[in-house]
Amino acid sequence: MGRDHDTSGGRGGGRGRRNGTKSERGKQKNRKRRSRHSTTTTSFNNRSGDAGPKCQPLIKRSGLIIVAVVILLVIGNNLISQKTTQGSRLKEITNDEYFTFSSGSLPLCSMDQVHGGRWISKILQPNEIPYRTNHYNSQCGSGQGSDDAYYEGPAYSRTDGTIQSFEWIQNNHSSCFFEKWSTDSFCRALKSDTDTATNNDESNSNSNSNSSNNNNTSTGGASPSDIDVFIMGDSLTREQFLSLFHLLQGPNGSPDNQVDAYYPMTHDCGIQLVMRRLDYYVAKENMLSWELSHKNPTYVLINFGAHYVADPSHRWVIEHIAEDIRGWQNRCKLQNKECLMIWRTTVPGHPFCKSRAYEYPGLNFLNWTLPYAEKWLDAKHPPHHWADFGHQNEIVLEIFRASGIDFVVMDAYRINILRPDGHVGGNDCLHSCLGSKTDVYSQLLLHIIKLHKQGLLVI
């Protein structure tokens, strides 16, 4: 019976209109059942049936589930493809190793992100070793020439020709890019007015320094003015310069025994660097100001040195360095040149290293944190006031911040207190064999210059 037959008024009519007879109620149930089945093939916009609106939420949920399944299938196929074509990269993630992201897709890391990083293990194949050196002035090699040359020192040289090495990776390494060393990138960064060596130099940045074998350098060719980088400090600074010297020359460069207390260097790409050794600032307190006025550098990299003096004398030295830097930067402003001082913090040694007990993996320092490393060092009762270096590094930053000069910190202390290995050995637990511990300074220098050229450096 049609619903228009139940239109009579009154209480009975109301109940009839709502409920109808038993036979009619049965027919209505059957209609509802048929409607529920039919709505599965009905458009979402078709609302003529009684059951249509009631079934729409189920249909919508079914549609969303289908879409989700399709998305998961697509993602799964992509992961399978990546695992097939980039298995080594996925393996690095599985092993909690460094994921090599495309430099073009990430911004340059801030220095805080870089300094907050950690060391990871890295095995170098023979063709990946950036250089070899006989370390003529140390026990890191035989001292008999290039045939017995080492990178990372003899403890890490393996019988298959590979080398146990290490790499410093930035904090939150998936969110930013820590510039890889490349001689080409270093040259372009220094010679560009506005840095054209951007993050898109992936092919240069991700390749090791062996790819730049035309790294010819000469001595004595540096001009007396307009030096690109002036480096001054003690024997640890000379050690840093030796690393830079070898990285710029590549694996077939000349030996480092010509690098002495004063060394000018000109690369074929046109960059000019000068290294001046000064162990005690108070011994030649006018040397820095004279060098700055005669060399007219764009970048100055300085270190106080590992020669401890009491806090009052230390403060006096740092205040005078700040005055010298201020005068140099004022002259730079008159030339419309942005000049930057890079201060490398001082790293302590690691006592009792002569037995090489600190070499990896015998001592797994890769999971060390800065507080742990400082506690470990204190427990060794280090000589030469090494435990005071962290405190005096803070004094330096306090004075420089108050002086108003433009400077940035290269925090060698934060990075290499975490590396108790790789020291020269014997009675020398301060200096290190050339390798990743020293090469990281050149990488940091390149990264700082690129940040500065792009106006991204927080000073």
Question: For position 31, what pLDDT does the model report?
Answer: 53
Tell whether pTM > 0.75: no
Backbone angles phi, psi at 146, to 5 degrees: -65, -20
Q: How far is Cα 373 from Cα 119, in angstroms, rounded to an integer?
A: 13
Q: What is the pLDDT of residues 127-150, one digit of tens each?
A: 999 988 765 544 576 554 444 567
What is the pLDDT averaged over residues 138-165?
74
Q: What is the pLDDT of residues 262-308, one digit of tens each?
A: 999 999 999 999 999 999 998 899 999 999 999 999 999 999 999 99
Task: Give the strand pairing for 262-267 and 217-219.
Answer: antiparallel
Burial of 235 (0-12, 13-18, 19+ CB in 10 A): middle
pLDDT at 92 over 50: no
Contact 426, 352 (CB under 8 A): no
* Better-scored residue on pLDDT, 351 or 219: 351
What is the pLDDT averaged over residues 318-335?
97
Contact 432, 422 (CB under 8 A): yes
pLDDT at 384 over 70: yes
Strand partners, 340: 299
Helices (H) and strands (E) counted in the chain, each on its own, are 14, 11
What is the pLDDT averaged over residues 201-212?
43
Question: For position 173, what pLDDT does the model report?
Answer: 76
pLDDT at 101 over 50: no
Question: For position 195, what pLDDT does the model report?
Answer: 39
Question: For position 194, what pLDDT does the model report?
Answer: 40
- Say how far residue 250 (Cα) sits from the centre of its chain: 22
pLDDT level of residue 345 (50, 70, 90 thresholds): very high
Question: For position 426, what pLDDT does the model report?
Answer: 81
Contact 56, 43 (CB under 8 A): no
The 3-class secondary structure across 86-133, one letter per residue, is CHHHHHHHHCCCCCCCCHHHCCECCHHHHHCCEEEEEEECHHHCCCCE
Domains in the chain, please, with CATH? Answer: 179-453 (3.40.50.1110)
Smallest Cα–Cα separation from 304: which of 449, 402, 410? Answer: 410
Question: For position 71, what pLDDT does the model report?
Answer: 61
The pLDDT > 90 percentage for the chain reads 56
Per-position b or e across 160-195, b if 16+ CB within 10 A of its CB: eeebbbbbbbbbebeebbbbbbbbbbbbbbbeeeeb
Question: For position 366, what pLDDT does the model report?
Answer: 97
> What residues contact 233, with CB distance under 8 A and at least 6 apart?
240, 277, 278, 301, 302, 303, 304, 305, 344
Per the prediction, the chain carries an average pLDDT of 78
Smallest Cα–Cα separation from 242: which of 356, 166, 151? Answer: 151
Q: How far is Cα 247 from Cα 439, in angstroms, rounded to an integer?
A: 8
Q: What is the pLDDT of residues 38-88, one digit of tens each?
A: 444 444 344 444 444 444 444 445 566 665 655 665 555 554 444 433 333
Smallest Cα–Cα separation from 297: which of 400, 193, 224? Answer: 224
Across 68-72, 424-428, 435-439, which has the greatest mean pLDDT? 435-439
Q: How far is Cα 64 from Cα 457, in angstroms, rounded to an integer?
A: 47
The answer to whether the bond into 371 is cis (omega within 30° of 0) is: no
Q: Is the backbone of residue 382 left (phi > 0), alpha (psi -120 to 50) or beta?
A: beta
At 58, which amino acid appears? L
